[in-house]
């Protein structure tokens, strides 16, 4: 592979394209992250509990059966600790 890069420059060109793609995607990711932060700030400004909303978003990402299983375990543990 190193010989390819040194002799032809073709692999170097391909590598450059990959690196540039990753850099563009990282820029897009940062922009999206900034947008999400702004939405949370707006929610907070409107009186919503951002921690609760973040938890809801985590829960909504879970598979239904996975969520039910976690809820059952949580309920079991809370019962064992007399937290019900």
Which letter, b or e, does each residue of 4-38 get, where b requires 16 or more Cβ atoms within 10 Å of its Cβ? eeeeeeeeeeeeeeeeeeeeeeeeeeeeeeeeeee
Overall number of domains in the chain: 1
pLDDT tens per residue across span 9-20: 778 899 999 999
The answer to whether the pTM exceeds 0.85 is no
CB 10, CB 4: distance < 8 Å: yes
Confidence bin at 29 (pLDDT 50/70/90): very high
What residues make up the domain containing 63?
A: 2-80
pLDDT at 5: 63
CA distance 26 to 29: 5
């Amino acid at each position: 592979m190193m010989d390819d890069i040194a002799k032809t420059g073709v692999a170097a060109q391909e590598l450059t394209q990959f690196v540039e793609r990753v850099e563009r995607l990282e820029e897009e990711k940062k922009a999206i992250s900034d947008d999400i932060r702004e939405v949370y700030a707006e929610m907070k400004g409107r009186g919503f509990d951002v921690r609760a909303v973040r938890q809801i978003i985590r829960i909504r990402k879970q598979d239904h059966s996975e969520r039910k299983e976690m809820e059952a375990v949580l309920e079991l543990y809370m019962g064992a600790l007399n937290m019900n």
